[in-house]
Chain A
Amino acid sequence: MKALIRQPALHFILIGLFLFFYQGYREENALREMEALDSDTVQRLQDDFIRQTGRLPTPEHMELLIRQELDSRMLYAEALRRNFHRDDQVVLQRLLRDADFLGLEGNDEEKIRAAIELGVHESDEVIRRRMIQRMEKHAQTSTDAPTDNELKKLYEEEQARWLVPARYTFQQVFFSADRDGFPEQRAERHLTELRGEADVTEAGDPFLHGRQFAARSLQDMTYMFGAAFSDAMDAAGPPLGEWFGPVPSAYGAHLVRVEDVQPARQRSFDEVKPKLVAIWREQEQRIQLQNYLAELRKRYVVVEGRDS
């Protein structure tokens, strides 16, 4: 054993390994330079913002847009360092196509090498996007599972989202406003006839959506009959099993008999848990990416570009 420790060859190997990792460590932690955006790019960012929003960007907006552009360049540079352009199948395929465009000869490997030498991977927007996507995924590797407490907090935050509205099952008889100017009066005249009848098929005007409606929320009613109808239904708190009205709508007046009401209820935590997990994961991934970018920004210095 002692003899082994004294072996110069071993020392050689150890020193070599140390230098190798040290070099890697230094490289990993060395500040990296990144060119500042040229004026054309800044102008493009501003034009895009105006086109998208119809407003001039504030100085804060501009700062934000510039930082985002720099972030994506940073991610791209990191992807290059990791040689994603040499091992990502989508990028390689794309390079092959680009090589075909250029009429480069050779087998697949030769074509790819030639395309990379020409810097094709740096000018092709598809490759750039793909490499940035890969880096984003790379930054979002954590597979932590959310705790119940975290999910409960999300559940509490969005109470309104888990509300199941009340649903009404009802019949209606329609009196068209197009027929004459007085649909309400006709409806009132019929109301007396209808009272006490369980079911009616002859009264009123034909209504395209029919007579019978099962399990409709007030919102459903708004979409089908207009807001006046659902407002009136809401205000009336219609009695079960009795004809009442006239209820106004976008089309005329209606007599309505509610047969069943399922009251509103809050969906339970367990019921919506899968949704909460999905929401949590999206948030988590966003945070991971932001943390990664924050770390990365410490390593990059922005230097003035050639055009300034």
Chain B
Amino acid sequence: MCRYRGVVSLLLVCLIGPLQAIERTESREPCKRVVPTKMPLFGDTHVHTRYSLDASTQDTRTTPRQAYEFARGARIGIQPWTDEGKPLRELKLNRPLDFAVVTDHAELLGEVAMCQNPELEGYSSWQCRLYRRWPRAAFFLFNTKSSAGGRLGLCGDDGQHCKAAAAGPWQEMQQAAESSYDRSERCEFTSFIGYEWTGASENLANLHRNVIFRNASVPALPFSFVDDPTARGLWNALERDCLDQDNGCDALVIPHNSNLSDGYMFNLTDADGVALTDADLAKRSRLERLVEVMQHKGSSECFFGPGQMEDELCAFEQLPYDKFSGKFMKLTSSEPEPNDGFLRDVLNDGLLLQQSKGINPYKMGFIASTDTHLGAPGAVEESNFPGHGGAGEPASVESTKGLPDDLEFNPGGLAVVWAEENSRDAIFEGMQRRETYGTSGPRMTVRFFGGADLQRELCVSPDFVEQAYQKGVPMGSELAEMAEGEYPRFLVSALMDPGTMDSPGTPLQRIQIIKGWVDAAGEKHQRVYEIAGNPDNGATVNPMNCRQSGEGYKHLCRVWSDPSFDPSHNAYYYARVVENPSCRWSQQICVANGVNCSNPGTVPEGLEICCSDEHRPDIQERAWTSPIWYTPKES
């Protein structure tokens, strides 16, 4: 049958084999636009609206419904507001998203976050001062006591009164997701119901996780950090209230900002000091299929600093502290360290566990997102950074009073999912099989496959995607077992972001493959391979005017095999696609205000930071694919 190459649909069926059908868990019109070889859908899985206290105290009024509409291309107003409730400023995406998830704090009042964020009014309240001065003591009172007592006597026997108080916003969040979801055959936009579980460890390290539900079957209430301060408490609750309900409910948990976790996010001991059992780890790997590699509060990909200076690209958007409390109290945190929870290292820890316990709880694919507290999903452009939670207008020449946000923050990134169609089931399954990648904002398209049979000629075959699916596995998968003498090959193909009329995309500079592995002695290793493009292509950006120069690539493709493959080592491989240098958001504001650091007279008040040592004027935007794992055959 595969001889009849004239008929494209047949051809696809022949080459890919019978496609794994999407499991339908909801009723909706079938999509008109279906791509069996999948298409990249761009989204944001981390969005706060007025229901998050830390957003609403900054006068963010965006409702969940408006946040979803914003993702679809609608204009929203942002603070400050007139008496009539009209915004003085507005924000609009120049490219809508394909999907979005509003993830307001399940605690609904966001109190846990409050004492950690100096931008909030309550930050200087006596409770927060106590919290910060004696974090251990306060934590003990704050969590252990109130959680040990359950939801306390006055809430009713099993807390029903207090829970009823929280149910209102949760209902509204669900309705908002429903009203924005395109259930028509056009399949233009997908919304998911979700929330953020805002946990912290005893020493205030960040353990935050986003929870995303597959469809409209969701638990009666979000399960919050108040309900249980341990991560396994969250997994257990999701298993009990969702997965085991037999009503179509399914969920994913996405940890974020492990760069601020001081190593606690991925630890075999839970926040209450109890060791995680193998059963806990199994639940973790069932639920935590993805991890946020980058967002407003920095990149978590890899550590750059003493001892690990070879990979300079790791310095990209690295925060200068390892816990958020370090922002306001230097003593409570330290400079970032290699074992703080950077994902390259965490993935290796997963391999170690695979080797010792036969289970890898850290088998996570990558996505990036924003963590916007303006209810503005997908507003990721460097030229238009409205700030993490406080601000919201394109930086303009008028901005003479400093940056719209703290120097170390950034506009965040996007989550990209390979899916057959734009529907909840298709995207959720894409996330579940980790066929995802994250970008630091631009919309490059990246394919990544692994397999022993991937031929060098694939890069010049028009039907290379079909062939790659047939002969290999896509990003996020496990390599198929290899015969004696075989070794894995990897296909990476990337298209630059075409940009828009107003802001053309930046050409690609190179593709790298990062390999992590553990040897027989249990030593962790990592290595970066340059596989396509040219790191020395001479492309630069002029910090004086942000003009880019030098050649780059519109498209890069390569089939690569690992020269140091050892079939007895557990390993992972992921691709990093890097653009030519461009101006960071902060530098764009410095330039717009005429700052010239060699002439102090040009530096206006408030922008001295433009010329400080910690300011990095240029960046290289990038995409990170989910890894492909290799596990040795059991001998």
Contacts and interface: CB of A to CB of B under 8 A. Distances in A.
Nearest to A55: B398
A175 to B, nearest CB: 12
B402 A226 contact: no
A108 B153 contact: yes
A89 B142 contact: no
Contacts of A209: 39, 445, 495
Interface stretch (A8-16, A74-82, A123-131, A238-246): A123-131
Contact of B84 (A126, A178, A282, A290): A290
B356 to A, nearest CB: 40
A90 interface: yes
B8 A199 contact: yes
A264 interface: no
B462 A89 contact: no
Contacts of A97: 141-142, 146
Given A53-B393, A90-B162, A101-B130, A178 B553 contact: yes
B462 A282 contact: no
B79 interface: yes
Interface string B624-635: 000000000000
Interface in B435-489: 443, 445, 447, 459-465
A53 B404 CA distance: 7
Interface string A79-107: 00000000011101110111011010001
Contact of A208 (B161, B164, B495): B495
A199 B7 contact: yes
Contact of A178 (B34, B108, B555): B555
Given A201-B463, A223-B498, A52 B390 contact: yes
A67 B138 CA distance: 36
B194 interface: no
A229 to B, nearest CB: 8
A278 interface: yes
B635 to A, nearest CB: 39
A117 interface: no
Nearest to B11: A201
A250 B505 contact: yes
A275 interface: yes
Interface string B358-388: 0000000000000000000000000000010
A64 interface: yes
Nearest to B42: A223
B130 A54 contact: no
A290 B81 CA distance: 12
B35 A214 contact: yes
Interface stretch (B119-127, B196-204, B515-523): B119-127
A167 B83 CA distance: 42
Main DSSP-derived SS at the A contact region: helix
B145 interface: yes
B401 interface: yes
B5 A201 contact: yes
A50 B84 CA distance: 22
Interface centre among A88, A96, A125, A202 (most CB of B within 10 A): A125
A210 B37 CA distance: 9
Contacts of B142: 97, 100-101
A114 interface: no
Interface in B108-148: 108-109, 111, 114, 120-122, 125-127, 130-131, 138, 141-142, 145-146
A72 B387 CA distance: 24
B493 interface: yes
Contacts of B85: 286, 289-290
B120 A125 contact: yes
Contacts of A222: 498, 500-501
B6 A198 contact: yes
Interface residues of B, number: 94
Interface residues of A, number: 76
Interface string B21-34: 00000000000111
A278 B178 CA distance: 12
A251 B554 contact: yes
Interface in A190-241: 198-199, 201-212, 214-216, 222-227
A305 interface: no
Nearest to B81: A68
A249 B393 CA distance: 31
B400 A275 contact: no
B392 interface: yes
Contact of B152 (A96, A250, A290): A96
A126 B115 CA distance: 11
B179 A275 contact: yes
B125 to A, nearest CB: 6
B57 A65 contact: no
Contacts of B6: 198-199, 201
A224 B447 CA distance: 15
A203 B35 CA distance: 21
A88 B164 CA distance: 11
A206 B460 contact: yes
A211 B402 contact: no
B554 A250 contact: yes
B323 interface: no
Nearest to A173: B462
A176 B555 contact: yes
Nearest to B69: A275
B65 interface: yes
Contacts of A298: none
Given A223-B498, A250-B504, A54 B125 contact: no
B330 interface: no
Nearest to B404: A54
A125 B35 contact: no
A52 B34 contact: no
Nearest to A226: B498
Contact of A96 (B111, B146, B186, B400): B146
Nearest to B155: A89
Contacts of A55: 398-399, 401
Given A51-B391, A101-B142, A227-B500, A126 B111 contact: yes
Nearest to A137: B168
A203 to B, nearest CB: 8
Nearest to A93: B162
B505 A100 contact: no
A201 B462 contact: yes
B102 interface: no
B146 to A, nearest CB: 5
Contacts of B53: 126, 129
Given A54-B391, A226-B499, 16 more contacts: A49-B80, A55-B398, A61-B88, A92-B154, A93-B155, A123-B125, A129-B109, A177-B554, A206-B463, A214-B34, A214-B35, A223-B443, A227-B499, A251-B498, A251-B555, A286-B84
30 contacts: A49-B80, A52-B387, A52-B391, A53-B80, A53-B391, A54-B400, A54-B401, A90-B108, A90-B109, A96-B146, A101-B131, A103-B141, A125-B120, A130-B109, A176-B555, A177-B554, A199-B8, A204-B462, A206-B464, A214-B33, A215-B33, A223-B443, A223-B498, A224-B498, A227-B499, A250-B505, A251-B555, A278-B179, A286-B85, A290-B83
Nearest 10 A/B pairs, CB to CB: A54-B399, A125-B122, A226-B498, A250-B498, A227-B501, A89-B165, A52-B391, A286-B85, A215-B32, A215-B33
